[in-house]
Amino acid sequence: MKLFDYIDSIEVPTIENLRIIYHGLDTKYDDLIDLVVSNSNKLLKTIRFLECVKSVENMMFECMESNSISEVQWLKLKCNLYKAQAEYRGLKEISVYLK
C-alpha cells in the first residue's frame, strides 16, 4: 500500500500505525542518503528533504516513547508529511507493509 493511501485510511492513529509509517520512511531515508553521495548537483534540495523527513521521524519517536499519540500530534505529523511531499517530492512512491 502506498504511504499516503495508508495515512488517509487511518481514522484513529495508533503506535502501530506510526511504526508502519516509520519503517517506510526509514527505508526511503537510506535511499536518499545514497542519492546525496552519488548526485551532488541536487545536494541542497536533497539535504532539506532529509531534514524534513528527519523531523517527522523525531515526532514519531516522541510518540512511541510516550506510547501515545494525540490528535494534535497526528495532525502535525500528517501536515509535515504532506508538506515534504509538496515541497520536495519523493514520498509519494513509498510503500508501507502491513503486518
User: In this prediction, what percent of the chain has a pLDDT beyond 70?
Assistant: 88
Give, to the nearest 10 degrees, the angle between helix 43-66 and helix 71-88: 170
Average pLDDT over residues 87-99: 78
State pTM to two decimals: 0.82
Residue 92's Cα: distance from chain center in Å? 10
Tell me the pLDDT tens digit for each residue of 33-77: 776 666 666 777 777 877 888 888 899 999 999 999 999 999 999
Q: Cβ of 35: how many Cβ atoms within 10 Å?
A: 15
